Amino acid sequence: MRFELGGGKAIELARGDITAESTDAIVNAANSSLMGGGGVDGAIHRAGGPAILDECKAIVAKQGYLEDGQVVATTGGRLKARYVLHTSGPVYEDGTFGEAETLASCYRESIRLADRMGLKTLAFPSISTGTYGYPVHLAAPVAVAALAEAMNGVENVTLARFILFDDLTFAAYRDAAKAFAEDSR
Ligand code: ADP
């Protein structure tokens, strides 16, 4: 499913496993320690091999833990994608702790970093809606709006894909993208 943003830019939604994506970079729903974990984080480290964790360790040694909503880049190791952008999403409490702003920041800062790196295509998982407990029907509209807005503001990134692991998550993002497209007409 594809949504045109104008200016030759688009957002695509697909069901699948993000480790198989051949975009220039894939985004990892990491945690602030950057030491790997479960869910999509574990899958990316397993598929990409140890070079990713080595770079994560070097980054933490240099600049400390990653703040929520911020992003850093490493190699893609053995992945098809050349780079992994690691971002730490918010842990969802009850919505009153700035969770939406932090989640929007993950998408916005990933797009901006990719753009500064000269990358054209990027794939995202559904950040924070697994272990971090963000209800997907609340996360999806935040993610879609933040991504569309950030893409309109950059030069190089022309395609962002959401790669969604299960039917429920895919349906939530599809509904959010349709509503966003309606509203922006
Ligand atoms: P978080 O800690 O940010 O909540 P999780 O990895 O627990 O991150 O979950 C985020 C989303 O990623 C969930 O929808 C989960 O089903 C999904 N996911 C897990 N593995 C993969 C994968 N290989 N590709 C794409 N999405 C995945």
Per-residue pLDDT 10s for the chain (185 aa) are 999 999 999 999 999 999 999 999 999 999 999 999 899 999 999 999 999 999 999 999 999 999 999 999 999 999 999 999 999 999 999 999 999 999 999 999 999 999 999 999 999 999 999 999 999 999 999 999 999 999 999 999 999 999 999 999 999 999 999 999 999 87
Q: How remote is the CA of residue 130 from the centroid of ligand 1, in Å?
A: 6
pLDDT tens-digit profile of 117-135?
A: 999 999 999 999 999 999 9
Is 15 within the bounds of a domain? yes
Is 56 within the bounds of a domain? yes
54 is annotated as an active-site residue:
no
Q: How remote is the CA of residue 117 from the centroid of ligand 1, in Å?
A: 25
Which pLDDT does position 98 carry in this prediction?
A: 98
What CATH code is carried by the domain that includes residue 166?
Answer: 3.40.220.10
Largest CA distance in the chain: 47
Q: Given ligand 1 and candidates 27, 40, 87, 126, which is best to mutate, with the most ligand atoms within 8 Å of its CB?
A: 40
> For the chain, how many helices (H) and strands (E)?
5, 7
Q: How far apart are CA 179 and CA 46, in angstroms?
A: 36
Which pLDDT does position 35 carry in this prediction?
A: 94
Which pLDDT does position 185 carry in this prediction?
A: 77
Which pLDDT does position 184 carry in this prediction?
A: 85
Pocket around ligand 1 at a 6 A CB cut-off: 17-19, 29, 39-41, 43, 89, 125-132, 163, 165-166, 169
Q: How many domains, the chain?
A: 1
Q: How remote is the CA of residue 55 from the centroid of ligand 1, in Å?
A: 21
Q: How remote is the CA of residue 73 from the centroid of ligand 1, in Å?
A: 19
pLDDT tens-digit profile of 29-55?
A: 999 999 998 999 999 999 999 999 999
Q: How far apart are CA 84 and CA 28, in angstroms?
A: 7
Is 91 within the bounds of a domain? yes
Closest CA to 75 of 88, 61, 85, 62: 85
Q: Given ligand 1 and candidates 106, 162, 165, which is best to mutate, with the most ligand atoms within 8 Å of its CB?
A: 165
Domain hosting 164: range is: 7-183
Is 2 within the bounds of a domain? no
